[in-house]
A and B are shown apart, each in its own frame.
Chain A
Amino acid sequence: MQKTKDIIMDYLELPRPIALVLDAAGNIEHLSIEACQLLGYELSEILGANWVSMCLPQRWQLKTKRMYDAVSADYNEEPQCHTYPVLAKNGRQHPLAWHIEQRHSPSGAIVGSISTGIKVRDNALQEKNALLQSAARNQAVLDNAIEAIISINAQGTITHVNKTTEKIFGYPEEELLGQNITFLIPDTEKPLEHYRATLWNYMMPDSNKLIGINRELGAKHKDGHQLPIELTVAEISIAGIRSFTGIMRDISERKLSEARLKQSKEEVQQARDRLAHMDRLHIASEMSTGIAHELNQPLTAISMYAQACRNLVDNGKSDIKSLLSTLLRIDKQAQRAGDIIRNIRALVGKQDPHHQLTNINDLIHSTIELAQVDIECRTITFKCQCSETLPMIEIVSGQIQQVILNLIRNAGDAMVDLKPQEKIISIISEQTCQDFISIIVRDTGVGLDIDQPNEQLFQPFYSTKTHGMGMGLAISHSIVHNHGGKLCANKNYSDGAEFSFTLPVMPILGDH
């Protein structure tokens, strides 16, 4: 009880400094009142006594005496700080922190020392407590983190794990400690040795740049299932011993939603492709009479040339020369038919959805050729102003061809009531700025309704034509947008309609 009370008193008592003046031999010349109170002596009782042998516990005496001797002997002795306990009259010990200085006579000779001391309560204990508390706090933080936090030494051996590690990986702490980190993060892709090398790379001091960077790795749960994690490594060096703390986040959820997002993006892309394909089929069906006619031409010619050859042979009028020239013509017609079929297949077939390096001017010319399969288009005069200095660009050429074809066909429809010589479509390709190529399609037709909002033009199922689905511009818009460009109508152009679209010189891959 008494002891507890003393401790409490100790804590409550305000620490007041005490002063001690010693002569060169270490005998007490003066002692402050506080010092007398602390020690429990009357001043008279103690003056002249040797400080070290009277007021210090036995085991501190020798060490402290040497210190005082040194202070009193050396001219250059700097003020010193020491901690030593004093022994009170009642036998209790009080730890004090001392500031000790030399005392000089007016002539400058060392005449002893002045010490000021302040009670240090159980500071060491307090520090330990604080350390323990802070450690407990840290542990609580670690354990409640949503990440698994694993410390390993330079050899990769696990030295510490938090509670979340147990939760994420399914192993209790004791099964993990002492294991190599590869136990938790085996690399399924690469051989173990390679993985170790990778880990080592993380951990080498000169690969600091890797440390702290988030990396996605495949880990393994106790039940055997793959666990995608994101790893951040921090290096800690204590007293020259390097250790590493890996912070691992379970990213299964994220992976799952990423996969879902990717899937839905793919589905959107597929739907877009299907729609574009439908539009091409629609164009093809609109053009089918033209296509049939176009295909019939060479077939008819072939058949007639062949019959002509037979007639010549039958009549005995044939000479090899004229037969050969006719055969050449047959061959030419067969190739013509083949070209037409190739064009049509490019139009109606499922398209390679990949970007290819394309010369946009070649694409414009081949699209005009395709458009002219339709006889209505053949009365139109095409004027091309193609810049010769355009860079090749990476596009899905079939899709861009579809855009140009849509614009040409719209232009053709807008000019249907004009006289043939008035039907003109101008196609201009140019590089408008460093990053974009622009393609403009103009006609001399009825033009656009100025009051019509631009957005409506590109809405699906919006059409001013009697035939047609109203999908052409909507799909073209989405194709161009998907390429990172922009399709728009220029209402300022008054001689007809003008549509233009841009394409980036550097492809913007992926989805927008």
Chain B
Amino acid sequence: MNNNQTIYIVDDDPDVLDAMSMLLQSTGLTTKTHHSGQDFLDNNIPLLIGCVILDVRMPNMSGLQLQLDIKRKNPTLPVVFVTGHGDVPMAVQAMKNGAIEFLQKPFRDQEFIDCVHRALYINNLATNEREHLRSIQDRIDSLTKREHQIMRHIADGDMTKIIANKLNISPRTVEIHRARAMEKMRVKTVAQLVHIVMESEAQ
């Protein structure tokens, strides 16, 4: 687990809030409690790492509403729902919106903890993925215009001679740019280069 991860718990019932927090803390996790959706939204949502535990039914702002808001601001932040009386349509909606789990109270503590761990794992993956993509983007951003141009052609499957022809430069020049782009992109083979370009363009 990532040590920077925090579990944000949002529940209008102070006792349940406290108990959830204490349980998670007892397993070594970091928690932060919020008694309302609005209170939670005071955080800088896009920067949060970890997961959110939401009560579906809260006065003023429902859990489902808050889930959409979080998804918009920070799609990598997983949401786990806990509820005392979730009905099926509500659960379906929550899952469609990407909830990790929809737990009915009273749940088994281990189930709850496992669920939180899964959420944190997913967040971890997502965070790593985001970091990875960001680093790729950083590398792409460090390319010169010509290097980027030649890398695009390589990714399209063009041979060196064809690229030289298309750009009206010598094959040798193409090879120099290619070598420099591969170095900047930190790849060893052309195949790796193609993969990383496709990965970045998939986003």
Binding site for B on A (CB under 8 A): 289-290, 292-294, 296-309, 311-312, 315, 317, 326, 329, 332-333, 336, 375, 378-379, 420
Does B43 touch A at the CB level, under 8 Å? Answer: no
Inside 8 A of A333's CB, which chain B residues have their CB? 15, 19
Whether the pair A297, B105 counts as a contact (CB closer than 8 A) is yes
Whether the pair B16, A297 counts as a contact (CB closer than 8 A) is yes
24 contacts between A and B (CB under 8 A): A292-B84, A293-B83, A293-B105, A296-B85, A296-B105, A297-B105, A300-B82, A301-B18, A303-B109, A304-B19, A304-B112, A305-B19, A307-B23, A307-B110, A308-B23, A308-B25, A308-B26, A309-B26, A317-B26, A329-B19, A333-B15, A375-B57, A375-B59, A420-B59
Whether the pair A312, B84 counts as a contact (CB closer than 8 A) is no
Report the bound CA distance from A305 to B22 in whole Å.
Answer: 7
B83, B106, B110: which has the most chain A beta carbons within 10 Å?
B106
Please give the distance in Å from A375's CB to the nearest CB on chain B: 5
Inside 8 A of B183's CB, which chain A residues have their CB? none
Known: A296-B85, A315-B26, A329-B19. 8 other contacts (CB 8 A): A293-B83, A297-B84, A297-B105, A298-B15, A307-B110, A308-B19, A312-B26, A315-B28
Please give the distance in Å from B189's CB to the nearest CB on chain A: 48
Please give the distance in Å from A230's CB to the nearest CB on chain B: 64
Report the bound CA distance from A311 to B29 in whole Å.
Answer: 12
Inside 8 A of B28's CB, which chain A residues have their CB? 315
Inside 8 A of B10's CB, which chain A residues have their CB? none
Inside 8 A of A420's CB, which chain B residues have their CB? 59-60
Inside 8 A of A309's CB, which chain B residues have their CB? 26
Please give the distance in Å from B106's CB to the nearest CB on chain A: 4
Whether the pair B18, A300 counts as a contact (CB closer than 8 A) is no
Inside 8 A of A329's CB, which chain B residues have their CB? 15, 18-19
Report the bound CA distance from A292 to B59 in whole Å.
Answer: 17
Q: Mark B36-74, 1 if CB is under 8 A from A, else 0.
A: 000000000000000000000101100000000000000
Please give the distance in Å from B30's CB to the nearest CB on chain A: 15
In the complex, which residue of chain A has the Cβ closest to the Cβ of B22? A308
Please give the distance in Å from A284's CB to the nearest CB on chain B: 15
Whether the pair A311, B57 counts as a contact (CB closer than 8 A) is no
A299 interface neighbour in B20, B85, B105, Cβ under 8 Å:
B105
Whether the pair A305, B84 counts as a contact (CB closer than 8 A) is no
B26 interface neighbour in A289, A303, A311, A375, Cβ under 8 Å:
A311
Assuming A296-B105, A379-B59, is B15 touching A301 (CB within 8 A)? Answer: yes
Report the bound CA distance from A332 to B13 in whole Å.
Answer: 14
Inside 8 A of A336's CB, which chain B residues have their CB? 15
Please give the distance in Å from B101's CB to the nearest CB on chain A: 15
Report the bound CA distance from A378 to B62 in whole Å.
Answer: 13
A300 interface neighbour in B26, B57, B106, Cβ under 8 Å:
B106
Inside 8 A of B105's CB, which chain A residues have their CB? 293, 296-297, 299-300
Please give the distance in Å from B89's CB to the nearest CB on chain A: 14
B106 interface neighbour in A299, A305, A326, Cβ under 8 Å:
A299
Q: Mark B102-113, 1 if CB is under 8 A from A, else 0.
A: 000111111010
Whether the pair A311, B27 counts as a contact (CB closer than 8 A) is yes
Assuming A332-B15, A379-B60, is B27 touching A304 (CB within 8 A)? Answer: no
A299, A303, A326: which has the most chain B beta carbons within 10 Å?
A303
In the complex, which residue of chain A has the Cβ closest to the Cβ of B28? A315
Inside 8 A of A290's CB, which chain B residues have their CB? 85
Whether the pair B85, A300 counts as a contact (CB closer than 8 A) is no
Please give the distance in Å from B186's CB to the nearest CB on chain A: 42
Please give the distance in Å from B81's CB to the nearest CB on chain A: 14
Report the bound CA distance from A102 to B111 in whole Å.
Answer: 138
Report the bound CA distance from A31 to B161 in whole Å.
Answer: 194
Inside 8 A of A301's CB, which chain B residues have their CB? 13, 15-16, 18-19
Report the bound CA distance from A307 to B19 in whole Å.
Answer: 10
Inside 8 A of B25's CB, which chain A residues have their CB? 308
Report the bound CA distance from A317 to B26 in whole Å.
Answer: 9
Report the bound CA distance from A300 to B106 in whole Å.
Answer: 5
Report the bound CA distance from A292 to B28 in whole Å.
Answer: 31
Whether the pair A307, B26 counts as a contact (CB closer than 8 A) is yes
In the complex, the 4 A-B pairs of residues with the closest C-beta atoms, listed nearest first? A293-B84, A311-B26, A307-B109, A301-B19
In the complex, which residue of chain A has the Cβ closest to the Cβ of B108? A303
B99-139 contacts to A (CB < 8 Å) = 105-110, 112
Report the bound CA distance from A292 to B83 in whole Å.
Answer: 11
Inside 8 A of A298's CB, which chain B residues have their CB? 15
In the complex, which residue of chain A has the Cβ closest to the Cβ of B113? A307
B78-92 contacts to A (CB < 8 Å) = 82-85
Report the bound CA distance from A227 to B191 in whole Å.
Answer: 117
Please give the distance in Å from B99's CB to the nearest CB on chain A: 18
In the complex, which residue of chain B has the Cβ closest to the Cβ of A293? B84
In the complex, which residue of chain A has the Cβ closest to the Cβ of B82? A300
Inside 8 A of A306's CB, which chain B residues have their CB? 109
B26, B27, B28, B59: which has the most chain A beta carbons within 10 Å?
B26
Please give the distance in Å from B11's CB to the nearest CB on chain A: 9
Please give the distance in Å from B74's CB to the nearest CB on chain A: 26
Whether the pair A304, B22 counts as a contact (CB closer than 8 A) is yes
Report the bound CA distance from A296 to B25 in whole Å.
Answer: 22
Report the bound CA distance from A333 to B110 in whole Å.
Answer: 20
Inside 8 A of B106's CB, which chain A residues have their CB? 296, 299-300, 303
Report the bound CA distance from A426 to B170 in whole Å.
Answer: 87
B105, B110, B112: which has the most chain A beta carbons within 10 Å?
B105
In the complex, which residue of chain A has the Cβ closest to the Cβ of B60? A420
A305 interface neighbour in B23, B57, B60, B83, Cβ under 8 Å:
B23
Please give the distance in Å from B147's CB to the nearest CB on chain A: 53
Please give the distance in Å from A160's CB to the nearest CB on chain B: 83
In the complex, which residue of chain A has the Cβ closest to the Cβ of B110? A307
Inside 8 A of B23's CB, which chain A residues have their CB? 304-305, 307-308, 311
Report the bound CA distance from A375 to B13 in whole Å.
Answer: 11
Inside 8 A of B19's CB, which chain A residues have their CB? 300-302, 304-305, 308, 329, 333
Please give the distance in Å from A330's CB to the nearest CB on chain B: 9
Report the bound CA distance from A308 to B113 in whole Å.
Answer: 11
Please give the distance in Å from B157's CB to the nearest CB on chain A: 56
Inside 8 A of B109's CB, which chain A residues have their CB? 303-304, 306-307
B19, B28, B59: which has the most chain A beta carbons within 10 Å?
B19
A298, A300, A309, A379: which has the most chain B beta carbons within 10 Å?
A300
Please give the distance in Å from A315's CB to the nearest CB on chain B: 7
Assuming A294-B84, A332-B15, is B22 touching A300 (CB within 8 A)? Answer: no
